[in-house]
Structure 1
Amino acid sequence: MPAVTEPKLIAGNANLSLAKAIARRMSMHRGMSVSLVEARVERFNDQEIFVEVFENVRGEDMYIIQSTSNPANDNLMELLIMTDALRRSSASRITAVIPYFGYARQDRRAKARTPITAKLVANMIAEAGVDRVLTLDLHAAQIQGFFDIPVDNLYASPVFALDIEHQFRGQMNDLMVVSPDVGGVARARELAKRINAPLAIVDKRREKAGEIAGMTVIGDVRGHKCIIVDDICDTAGTLCKAAETLMEAGATEVHSYITHGVLSGPAVERVQNSVMKSLVITDSIEATEKVKAAGNIRIVPTAPMFAQAILNIWGGMSVSSLFETDTLVPIYEGLYQRS
């Protein structure tokens, strides 16, 4: 049955800019004001997190917008404590909207006596009282199976396809999509199919953890504008090295489209000093001032997609419809016009 109450949004401190943008987009779609539920999420002197919700949420359909990005532990605890506050306040349903799902890279036991932390985090979220999770480009699709509650995993590739068609209008035949490693081939192939471009792979060899011994390009990139696609850019070392390798192999330009711009440590300086003409990221993680000031880093919005996904969940409609580029064109009206 269609929902009777309006969806209500509440946000932690991880990415308030995105939360407010989602609320604005939902206001446009609904033709009525949608604002964030008033609450305080703060820390005591010993850094314990305290949450107080100032509005009545009894029987409401609640959506907590909170990326578990750096500081991952603080933001994760905020999410769990906010969930507990809403559950004890008799909210009817709680959906955790997690644009960036932290700990996702720890999704398997790579060696003996190591944890599968992504599964642990999934257990914690479900046990706290979350009924559903909405996220973007999980590092590994099988993480959805770590949850015993429904998980909707959105994809950035349809938005990236729109952006590429807009930015490279008249040059689409020159493009080649590149996966920066063998593990990301499926993600790169998905984007390549959307923009009808060929695919290449950069194969990297490591002699020990954190050190790349060498890179080999699989595919002929000569004369092509290469677009590297991946889900996470952390320190940007591998990304910048891959860009250099592609240029040495004959690429005319290198651009990168990365969903989650973690960009920790020396990442921004590396990107600015690299041969890459541009790095495009989403706003799944709150951009630092350094990222905003970087001349060759650009941010594409995800608020229109998340706002529509929340409305679809609330109204009992399909979320997978947002995987189609044509569905996103009207949602991103004014930003990308297809010829």
Structure 2
Amino acid sequence: MTEAPQPNSTFSRPTFFIMTGIPGLGGAQAWLTLVFGPMYLLSLLGNGALLAVVQTDSTLHQPMFLLLATLAATDLSLATSIAPGLLAVLWLGPRPVPYAACLVQMFFVHALTAVESGVLLAMACDRAVAVGRPLHYPILVTKARVGYAALALALKAVVIVVPFPLLVARFEHFQAQTIDHAYCAHMAVVELVVGNTRANNLYGLVLSLAVSGIDILGITGSYGLIAHAVLRLPTREARAKAFGTCSSHICVILAFYVPGLFSYLTHRFGRHTVPKPVHVLLSNTYLLLPPALNPLIYGVRTKQIRDRLLEIFTFKKSQF
């Protein structure tokens, strides 16, 4: 284990960093595996089941469900990018992470978060077209266009997130090798850098505001169009049905953005008022809670998926 550095000491670019998990909790953080472990298990089982159902049922090969499958694949990847390391740190204590592996994890965590935000925007646009222009929906929203949208979201995430590890890799000296976090978040690593980190801070701020801000505005505008179209429907039953088709997506949006915005605001503006253990705990919860909840929300509230899952379980049960 590397000893803590003296106040004025610096390290040349380390071969590894040491992850400590949730700072200040010590051995008590092992109990958090009882929280994050089931979250990760739900993410694996729930998103895996959604992907299997959409893949095997040809009636679900429609734009809405293909977007849902894209969201499930993103959730599965996002949870897997941090959960194994997080659980290892919580259960076994501080552990070394190679420098290159830390930069790779930094890229995937931030890139997958950007992809998820973009998928939620695409799903909002899909629902806006379905509700606002139902007769033109099959022409405007096709499987090919969903594929192009998914590819564009992936490319966009790569382009905008690649600077994160590159901006860190340019530094040669660090104040310490110990990261008070459970994964290689960009700003957690930047805090250890010796040198001018203004570019890192500015790029992180601009990227957060640009990506999340634009996506949130797009989602808000889409649901404004949905609300306008729904309120023009002639009967209460028709309005309730139209809102019902969007309710699952609204729940998923809230599960992703509310914890995310709270974590972002506490990090940017509450460093001196919000204890660091609380901030680290929030940032890990923000990345694991949506992947665990999304398949439950869609599995319960989307009739086609719920019926298909019931058919599968009923068929397997009848075999015994």
Q: TM-score, normalised by structure 2?
A: 0.23
More helix by share: 2
Q: Does 1 or 2 have the higher relative contact order (CA < 8 Å, sep 6+)?
A: 2
More strand by share: 1
